[in-house]
Amino acid sequence: MVSEENVEVVRAAIGAFVRRDYEGVLSLCDEDIEITQAVGFAGIPDKLHGHAGVLEAFDLWAEQWDDYQTEILRVADLGDYVMVAQMVRGRGKGSGVQVEMPLPLLFSVRTGKISEWHMFASEEEALKAVGLED
């Protein structure tokens, strides 16, 4: 089933990200991937494109945190999208404030590669974006 394959592509990409294997992540991303960041993170552009955009997103995100960790809570097949529910934890660089927050991700996979990578501030926002709000 195609959607199961999509879920496996996303699981592999997230696993590579958690291990900081960015080349592994890029190998699973389409060259024209579009990355949309959650609104409200200072210094991070709303949209980035291509493999260079993926690496820029990772660098910009890492610049915001000390002791950054990601916990994957679940991966859900939403038909045309795969949602990753995750909890992120870290200490803000500069502020030293400890932060723990959900940061769900939506992925679109086309021909075995991730073509869209969207970050949201809540699962409700992610579900609404694909017309599945409760």
Q: Tell which residue, 74, 102, 75, has the closest CA to residue 88.
A: 102
40, two tokens: 């409200």
Fold of 2-129: Nuclear Transport Factor 2; Chain: A, (3.10.450)
CA dihedral sign of residues 101, 64, 42, 76: negative
Per-residue pLDDT of the chain (134 residues; tens, 9 = 90+): 458 899 999 999 999 998 889 999 999 999 999 999 876 666 667 889 999 999 998 887 777 778 888 899 999 998 889 999 999 888 888 888 898 989 899 999 999 999 999 999 889 988 898 887 65
Task: List all residues 6 or more positions away from 30 whose beta carbon is below 8 Å from its beta carbon.
Answer: 110, 111, 113, 114, 115
* Predicted model pTM: 0.87
> Which residue in this structure is represented by tokens 């993170």?
41
Sequence ranges of the domains in the chain: 2-129
